[in-house]
Amino acid sequence: MIMEIIEKIKKLGLGEVLEDVDIAKYTTYHVGGHALAMVFPSDVYCLIELLKLLKEENVKYKVLGRGSNLVFSNTFYNGILIKLDHFDDLRINGNEITVGAGFQLIKLAIRLSRIGFTGIEFATGIPGTVGGGIFMNAGAYKSDMGYIVKKVKVLTPDLKVKELTNSQLDFHYRSSFLQKHPGYICLEATIVLQRDDPDKIMQLVDDRKKRRLETQPLEYPSAGSVFRNPEGDYAGRLIEEAGFKGKKHGGAMVSTKHANFVINVGNATGEDIKELILEIQKTIKEKYDIELKIEQEFVE
């Protein structure tokens, strides 16, 4: 049945279709089994028609960005993965920048910083797409997407295109309306930045990059910070104090550089990573009575 649906997607010309996809190639942890297919919708119309078809046929699906906050199990994903890579338009109008949800966040932040836009420097080290960054309200250096996003164009669960303003997006620390309403799909965002000297901006970007290389395990596959920082404290400090730095589970390990990073040190499975993360969470709860919130999503 699903194979017939895949053939129908191809015949309808809804976008590029890859079959028997190795999910590990599409996640920053480099883990995951295989999926039936991955579809790259050509535009909003194709995305709507694709979702109509999948919903009518009751086919499981998931929209991916860069796979930077997803931990897929190594079992077979019996459904369709959707990638919005073609949603990558970029338009600059004064201090307002409108950008597609599939645009890479790091690429966007560096490009805008180089031409003298300030306010997005925090995102020059955040893996993922614009859509994923808004979904997570990704941030660093005491700033996040909520500070710069003016409005977002979304596809609602009933497949209508709608605009949501900053206040409607309900941004909070690593949280947003989209995260609490996963049936909504980010299509594009309008952000507002200020102008400043490009050399000064890029000096800040370069300084922060140097600091990240010194303090984060960027040489290994990971998904960035695993846990949100609890109020008034740091997840990394608690994890290190609990003795987890360097602890391994299969091919997954707590980084010796930064304890809030779990890294793939060699052929880790999604299960290895998940079990290590859950063990850390359980231990911190037992030891400090603090419930660390996991930033990453486990996908079966």
Is 174 catalytic? The answer is yes
Measured between alpha carbons, how far is 101 from 178 in angstroms, rounded to an integer? 13
* CA dist list (Å): 256 to 191, 213, 239, 283: 36, 13, 11, 18
| Kind plus residue range of the DSSP H or E element containing 48 | helix 44-56
Q: Which two tokens stand for residue 208?
A: 């922060």
Report the relative pairing of strands 70-72 and 297-299 from DSSP bridges.
Answer: parallel
Measured between alpha carbons, how far is 295 from 297 in angstroms, rounded to an integer? 7
Phi, psi (deg, nearest 5) at residue 259: -70, -10
Measured between alpha carbons, how far is 287 from 139 in angstroms, rounded to an integer? 28
Please count the CA atoms within 13 angstroms of the CA of 285 that sit on its side-chain side: 11
Contacts of 201-205 with C-beta under 8 Å, sequence gap 24+, read 201/113, 201/114, 201/116, 201/117, 201/118, 201/121, 202/113, 202/114, 204/121, 205/110, 205/113, 205/121, 205/124
**DSSP string over 66-107:** SSTTEEE-SS-EEEEEEE-TT---EEEETTEEEEETTSBHHH
Q: Which two tokens stand for residue 68?
A: 């930077």
Q: Based on C-alpha coordinates, what's the Rg of the chain? A: 20
The residue annotated as part of the active site, out of 174, 208, 212, 228, is 174
* Strand, helix or coil for residue 30: coil
The residue annotated as part of the active site, out of 121, 188, 271, 295, is 295
Measured between alpha carbons, how far is 285 from 295 in angstroms, rounded to an integer? 16
The residue annotated as part of the active site, out of 73, 113, 176, 225, is 225
> Which positions are catalytic?
174, 225, 295
